[in-house]
Amino acid sequence: MPSTASIAGGFILGLVWIGLTFLLVRQLASRRWSSTTASVARQFIIALLVVTGILMVLRFFIPAVLRDTWVLVFFLAPCVIGIMIMMPWWLPRLVGRGMSPLLGAYTGGDETEEPKPFYARAVAYRKRGNATEALAEVEAQLSRFPDDAPGLMLMAELKANELNDVPGALSILDHLVERPACSPEEAALALQQKSAWELERLKDVDAARHSLERLIERCPGTQAALTARQQLARLPSEATLESRETPRKIVVVHHPERVGLLPEGNTNAASQPSTGPEDDGGEAERLVRHLEQFPDDWTALEQLADIYERKWNRRDLATDVWEKLIQLTTATPRQTAQWLNLLADLQLRSPNGAGAARLTLERIGQRFPGTPWAEQAESRIRLLGLDQRAKAAPRVIRLGTYEQNIGLKRGDASIPDPSKSVS
């Protein structure tokens, strides 16, 4: 049996060995390794720990004859070499499952991170105004990841905004969309940006229209396609774009002078408020023709409802337009709830519209239960009476006829009357 001094010396030596191993593992773990190098280092560290344990056992718990130097050299050395060579095959099967969390805490684990492009330096150069260096950084990353959508978008933005190369930026966006691995979200983002640059930077309405039509065809039934339909309906004409570029002329309207001295009935007809449907300047007719071509144009429908109520004084026609908007299946729940609230506002502006407004607000809770819009509608229903009184016309208070100069009357004979005084 080993002596007490041998056991104590071996224990101290073991503690020193464990400490040195821990420092070595910590130093190795702080470095950045490739996947192959990390695997080799991990297997070597595990083998070193196992062989150290075997040597400790052989040193203190075998007969004395086996502790001789020649036995360690000629008998244990081949065993140790063979164990270390075969370690990658038998060790993971033996202790891989149970020891993997403990070993992963020291070695970083065996999961390798997928390489990704790094654009932080390019963004930093762009913020400092170094567009050329930023573009070079993006191109360096795209040489390794040629189909990376964020990198292609960043390159297009640099060329269009910083380097003023809009045609080059549009060609990059076309390449992004035509990639086989392009997702609908990436295609929608690229085509939206492409149509915006074609309209704002190149003043090409036909090209912008073509990009929006490609988006609708590429991403049918999505929110991006719905937004593209709205933009397609609101595209300006070539004449409108030209008028935006020319300076706007300010027309000074001549107003009558000495208004206070004009005789009664002589007023300026242009200053009279609009009172009939013929005074809307043909705006309603224009909107109706526009809606025949683009029936889902929300903005045009909202404007038409406002004209029917404000200029034509036809709440029934305005109600029909709001109902048409509410029945649209392509609208978002938030937008539909907003239109229902606007219809309730219209009904509250009528003399006895509280009941109809209540039914309209209840429709919000029925169509979108458990949503913030339903809670808002319930709050409006509770305050419906106050809301109607706030929107009602102000009550006119008529004053009676009273005698004037009451304080100057001379009811007392003792008070002299100035008008009868003798000069």
Q: Same domain for 91 and 134?
A: no
Domain match, 285 and 382 both? yes
Say whether both 223 and 301 belong to one domain: no
Residue 336 or residue 76, greater confidence: 336
User: In which domain, by residue range, is 9 found?
Assistant: 4-107
d(CA 325, CA 305) in angstroms, rounded, equals 10
Q: Give the Cα separation of 414 and 373 in Å (integer).
A: 77
Res 270: pLDDT: 42
Residue 357: burial class (beta carbons within 10 Å; 0-12, 13-18, 19+): buried
Torsion of CA 287, 291, 292, 293, to 10 degrees: 110
Q: Is residue 160 part of a domain?
A: yes
**220 pLDDT exceeds 60?**
yes
Is 128 domain-assigned?
A: yes
Give, as one character, the DSSP assignment of residue 112.
P
For residue 263, is it within any domain?
no
Count of domains observed in the chain? 3
Asked whether the beta carbons of 84 and 55 are under 8 A apart, the reply is no
Q: How confident is the model at residue 168 (pLDDT cuts 50, 70, 90)?
A: very high
Q: What is the pLDDT of residue 134?
A: 92
Find the CATH number of the domain harbouring 207. Answer: 1.25.40.10
**Domain annotation covers residue 397:** no
Select, from the ranges 62-76, 225-239, 311-325, the one with the highest average predicted confidence (pLDDT): 311-325
Q: What is the mean pLDDT of residues 175-194?
A: 91
C-alpha span between 16 and 133 (Å, rounded): 52
Segment 212-225 shows an average pLDDT of 88
Domain boundary among the residues 77, 107, 137 is at: 107
pLDDT digits (tens, 9 = 90+) for 313-364: 888 888 888 898 888 877 888 888 999 999 988 888 887 788 888 899 999 9
The set of residues, in sequence order, having a beta carbon less than 8 Å from that of 378 and lying 6+ positions away, is 361, 365
Q: What are phi and psi of 153, to 5 degrees?
A: -65, -40
Based on its alpha-carbon atoms, the radius of gyration of the chain, rounded to whole angstroms, reads 43
CA atoms of 270 and 254, how far apart (whole Å): 11
pLDDT in tens, 256-282: 666 555 555 554 444 444 445 545 668
Please state the φ and ψ torsions of residue 122, each to the nearest 5 degrees.
Answer: -65, -40
